[in-house]
Amino acid sequence: MKMDCKKILNINKIKIFFFINKKLFPKDFNLKKFNYITQNFKVDKKIICMPDLNFKAKNFIPTGVNIPIINSINPILLSSNINDSIGSLKLKNNKNLDKRAIKKIFITLKKRIKIFRSTKNQISVPSFKSYLKYGVKNIYLKWGFLKKEIERIESNGSEKLDMNIEKILKNIKKKKIESLPSYVPRDGILNRGMRNIGVLDGTSHFIELFRVNKILKKKDCKYLNVELGDYFFLVHAGSGDVGRYFHHHFLDKKINNIDPKTTKGKLVKNSYLAAINYGFVNRLYIYKNIKETIFKVLKTQEIEIFSDLPHDYLEIEKKTKTIFHRKGVVRLKSKKEFKKNNSWFKTGTPYVLPSNPSGDAYLMIGRNGSKESLYSLNHGMGRTLSKKEAEKKIKSFKFNKETMHYQMFRYKKDKINTQSPEAFKDTNSILKIIKKNKLADNIAILKSVASLKA
* Within-domain flag for 1: no
Residue at 303 is within a domain? yes
- 45 located within any domain: yes
Which H or E run includes 96? none
DSSP for 123-186, written as a single string = S-HHHHHHHHHHTTTTTTTTTT--HHHHTTBGGGG-PPP-S-HHHHHHHHHSS--TTS-TTS--
Residue 292 in domain: yes
Domain of 136 in residue numbering reads as 7-453
Query: Other CB atoms closer than 10 Å to residue 337's CB: what's the count?
Result: 14
What CATH number should be reported for the domain holding residue 307? 3.90.1860.10
Q: Where are the alpha helices (DSSP H) in 174-237?
A: 189-195, 218-223
* 357: exposed, middle or buried (Cβ count in 10 Å: 0-12, 13-18, 19+): buried
Q: How many domains, the chain?
A: 1
Give a yes or no: residue 2 inside a domain. no
Which one-letter amino acid corresponds to residue 231?
A: Y
* pLDDT tens per residue across all 454 residues of the chain: 455 678 999 999 999 999 999 888 888 888 999 999 999 999 999 999 999 999 877 789 999 999 999 999 999 999 999 999 999 999 998 888 999 999 999 999 999 999 999 999 999 999 999 999 999 999 999 999 999 999 999 999 999 999 999 999 999 987 789 999 999 999 999 999 999 999 999 889 999 999 999 999 999 999 999 999 999 999 999 999 999 999 999 999 999 999 999 999 999 999 999 999 999 999 999 999 999 999 999 999 999 999 999 999 999 998 888 999 999 999 999 999 999 989 899 999 999 999 988 899 999 999 998 999 999 999 999 888 878 888 888 877 766 555 567 899 999 888 888 888 888 899 999 999 999 999 999 999 999 999 999 8
